[in-house]
């Protein structure tokens, strides 16, 4: 019930997922107002017998305070779904709702993987290379501490290795220069910790390296990561506005811009972060995925696909093991 | 002698500046290897009698350590020029060389304006509105402290008011949400300090607001500012690469992209930060401007134009006065 177009896009996305891999032993549960779900499903010719519907009565708004939800909204889709995940009733949870609420509820109800100080959320960025760059953290933890940066690197490496089937993704710290003498004390400390780790750590990179695809995983605190994510998201809309402005200057420019639009469409799509189909809350003891509020049915399907894949490739036990191995080194 | 195309672009830019406002009482001094300057001027048919050439013998490289320059390269164009500025032999200094070296040399030789803790460098970003956004700081001070953020806001307000003739530019703190409860302790403290200031402070903005032009001046620490600046600079080159990739997929796409290029040129130009013609080191006791290493002759001319303007509108005394007024409040 969480997304901007809920429950319609969620139902349509769940149906796409059922069609794509329902025959591979994947069962889909829908948490929410059962009457509403049935009504919207009927309107869109979706047969709900392919799902298990779990009725909930509380509703979470985008403006709700995450810690309040834990106290007052125990019969919401978010609280009930993540409780069921914690109790092994389900294997993964997916939401296009309130990101902060999903992060907090996942952290409290699922608990942290042993050795993880702070759960984190990462985001993929398109690059000029064949693979995207993962930026970690993008807003879960704004404290700028070496230990957190170090753990983000460990968790980001595992997540990237599963998402892109790369054994040792390359990892770097986001900095204002490449030399190891650059940056804040926290970055310099994290640098020396990562040098001693098992990771394929290549050192520091700068802001430009994210889109250049210099490295697979770029590590930063959640303040800078969140600012970059939102800055990048605004680029697509800026580009569209500027093109409209150019088109309005003359008839010739209108034709030129009009002709270029189909060619640019692929580019705009890549700049549209929801296409990546959600991101897991990394570091919690369960697969909990949060997606863009504006998620389309395809984005919802991609989130479910990601959930299935992260379970198949054992995200949780792999994070537990890399943290354990590397805690001994630092 | 500092830019990537020095001294040619510097000489051609200085000539453009002389033609544009040499008759308004502006005299241009060229600091550098006098023989080399004369030789390049001859090759480009520039009559050097319109300039005063100040011969220097030391050369600064992009890789030089800023603090070493102060000890060992006192006969460099940078050291000599900023010394002459400190001694009131000249009224402003302009360079397309090593940014860190210009910042450090300006800070040490000119000294800080009373009440300024840290000098800062700001950068303009294009927006979908009629005026650009000023991001301050973009790399001079990576320490994330409320007092520094507060001073950046005061200096940014003065600089924007001179650059765009706005009496009270709107000011915001860069944060991960708009609520005053969001962000680090330093941001929350700076928020309450700015509330009490004389500035047109509108609160917090997010990463997306920089290009949306929500506010005139966006305040952040130099770590996040530098990362965003370099991230944004890489967008233009990413766009070009992606368009080339699209063009290579089919003959039709090649034609479409080819037709769109002239329309996109204006956009690429706006994304090209050197077009803004350099940025002053704010908070030092003198007008010292640093520009992009790849500055074209037009960019050099724009830097000289900016120097003339900042002197005419009394940048230094205005910063001194706003800092003095607002120090009493916080």
**Which of A190, A260, A292 would you mutate first to test chain B, the one with the most B CBs within 10 A?**
A260
Range of the domain at B28: 8-327
Residues in A touching B222 (Cβ below 8 Å): 176
Neighbours of B54 (CB within 10 A): 17
All residues at 6 or more sequence positions from B321 whose CB lies less than 8 Å from its CB, including other chains: none
Mean pLDDT of B56-77: 87
Mean pLDDT of B166-178: 95
Span B252-285, pLDDT tens digits: 888 877 777 776 776 667 666 555 678 899 999 9
Distance from CA of A275 to the nearest CA of B (A): 17
Mean pLDDT of B237-259: 81
Tell me how far apart the alpha carbons of residues B306 and B296 are, in angstroms, rounded to a whole number. 15
Mean pLDDT of A187-210: 96
Answer left, alpha or beta for residue B121, where phi above 0 means left and psi between -120 and 50 means alpha. Answer: beta
Confidence (pLDDT) at B102:
93
| Number of structural domains found in chain A | 1
Confidence (pLDDT) at A81:
97
A319, pLDDT greater than 90: yes
Confidence (pLDDT) at B55:
97
Mean pLDDT of A130-137: 94
Contact A231 B210 (CB under 8 A): yes
Contact A247 B263 (CB under 8 A): yes
A169, pLDDT greater than 70: yes
Is the Cβ–Cβ distance between B266 and B275 less than 8 Å? no
B3 in any annotated domain: no
Is the Cβ–Cβ distance between B288 and B102 less than 8 Å? yes
Confidence (pLDDT) at B237:
79
Q: Which of A63-67, A305-309, B23-27, B231-235 has the highest mean pLDDT?
A: A305-309
Confidence (pLDDT) at A274:
54
Q: What is the mean pLDDT of chain A?
A: 91
Confidence (pLDDT) at A62:
76
B60 in any annotated domain: yes
A227 in any annotated domain: no
Is the Cβ–Cβ distance between A284 and A92 less than 8 Å? no
A43 in any annotated domain: yes
A121 in any annotated domain: no
Tell me how far apart the alpha carbons of residues B241 and B244 are, in angstroms, rounded to a whole number. 5
All residues at 6 or more sequence positions from A315 whose CB lies less than 8 Å from its CB, including other chains: A158, A159, A162, A280, A282, A287
Confidence of residue A185 (pLDDT cuts 50, 70, 90): very high
Q: Which of B127, B142, B246 sits opposite A267 (nearest CB)?
A: B246
A273, pLDDT greater than 70: no
Of all residues in chain B, what percent are helix, strand and coil, respectively (each to 5)? 50, 15, 35
Mean pLDDT of A77-106: 94
Q: Which range (A25-39, A270-284, B241-255) has the least confidence?
A: A270-284
B202, pLDDT greater than 80: yes
B2 in any annotated domain: no
Residues in A touching B184 (Cβ below 8 Å): 142-144, 223
Q: Which of A257-261, B2-6, B34-38, B179-183 has the highest mean pLDDT?
A: B34-38
Q: Which of A213-227, A236-250, B255-269 has the highest mean pLDDT?
A: A213-227
Tell me how far apart the alpha carbons of residues A301 and B205 are, in angstroms, rounded to a whole number. 32
Confidence of residue B186 (pLDDT cuts 50, 70, 90): very high
Residues in A touching B128 (Cβ below 8 Å): 237-238, 241-242, 245
A91, pLDDT greater than 80: yes
Confidence (pLDDT) at B275:
59
pTM for the model = 0.91
A32 in any annotated domain: yes
Confidence of residue B52 (pLDDT cuts 50, 70, 90): very high
B100, pLDDT greater than 70: yes
Q: What is the CATH number of the domain that holds B247?
A: 3.40.718.10
List, in sequence order, every residue forming a beta bridge with A52; answer none if it has no partner: A29
Tell me how far apart the alpha carbons of residues A81 and A90 are, in angstroms, rounded to a whole number. 8
Q: Which residue has the higher pLDDT, A3 or B156?
A: B156
A233, pLDDT greater than 90: no
A247 in any annotated domain: no
* Of A39, A232, A208, residue with least CA distance to A124: A232
Element (H, E) at B92: strand B92-95
Tell me how far apart the alpha carbons of residues A165 and A277 are, in angstroms, rounded to a whole number. 17
Confidence (pLDDT) at A239:
80
DSSP conformational letter for A221: -
**Which of A220, A238, A252 would you mutate first to test chain B, the one with the most B CBs within 10 A?**
A238
Span A279-299, pLDDT tens digits: 899 999 999 999 888 888 999
- The ipTM of this complex is 0.89
Span A249-264, pLDDT tens digits: 888 888 877 777 776 7
Mean pLDDT of B168-174: 98
Confidence (pLDDT) at B204:
97
The separation between CA B325 and the C-alpha centre of its own chain, rounded to angstroms, equals 25
Cβ-based burial of A27 (10 A; exposed 0-12, middle 13-18, buried ≥19): exposed
Confidence of residue A271 (pLDDT cuts 50, 70, 90): low
């Amino acid at each position: 019930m969480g997304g901007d177009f809920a429950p319609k896009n969620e139902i349509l996305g769940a149906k796409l997922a059922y069609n794509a891999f329902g025959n591979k032993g994947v069962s889909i549960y829908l948490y929410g107002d059962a009457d509403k779900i049935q009504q919207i499903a009927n309107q869109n010719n979706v047969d709900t017998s392919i799902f298990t519907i779990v009725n909930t009565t509380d509703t979470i708004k985008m403006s709700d305070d995450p810690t309040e939800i834990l106290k007052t909204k125990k019969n919401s889709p978010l609280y009930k779904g993540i409780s069921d995940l914690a109790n092994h009733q389900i294997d993964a949870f997916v939401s296009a709702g309130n990101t902060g609420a999903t992060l907090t509820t996942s952290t409290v109800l699922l608990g942290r993987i042993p050795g993880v100080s702070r759960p984190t959320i990462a985001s993929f960025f398109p690059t000029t290379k064949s693979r995207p760059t993962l930026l970690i953290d993008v807003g879960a933890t704004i404290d700028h501490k070496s230990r957190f940066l170090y753990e983000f690197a460990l968790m980001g490496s595992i997540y990237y290795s599963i998402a892109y089937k790369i054994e040792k993704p390359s990892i770097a710290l986001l900095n204002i220069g490449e030399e190891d003498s650059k940056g804040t004390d926290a970055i310099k400390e994290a640098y020396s910790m990562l040098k001693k780790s098992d990771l394929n750590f290549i050192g520091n990179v700068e802001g430009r390296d994210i889109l250049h695809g210099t490295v697979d995983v770029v590590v930063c605190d959640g303040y800078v990561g969140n600012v970059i994510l939102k800055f990048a998201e605004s680029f697509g809309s800026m580009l569209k506005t500027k093109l409209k402005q150019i088109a309005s200057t003359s008839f010739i420019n209108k034709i030129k811009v009009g002709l270029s639009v189909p060619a640019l469409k692929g580019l705009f799509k890549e700049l549209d972060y929801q296409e990546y189909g959600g991101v897991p809350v990394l570091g919690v003891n369960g697969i909990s995925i949060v997606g863009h509020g504006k998620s389309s049915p395809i984005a919802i399907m991609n989130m479910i696909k990601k959930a299935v894949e992260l379970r198949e490739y054992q995200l949780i036990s792999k994070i537990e093991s890399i943290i354990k191995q590397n805690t001994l080194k630092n």
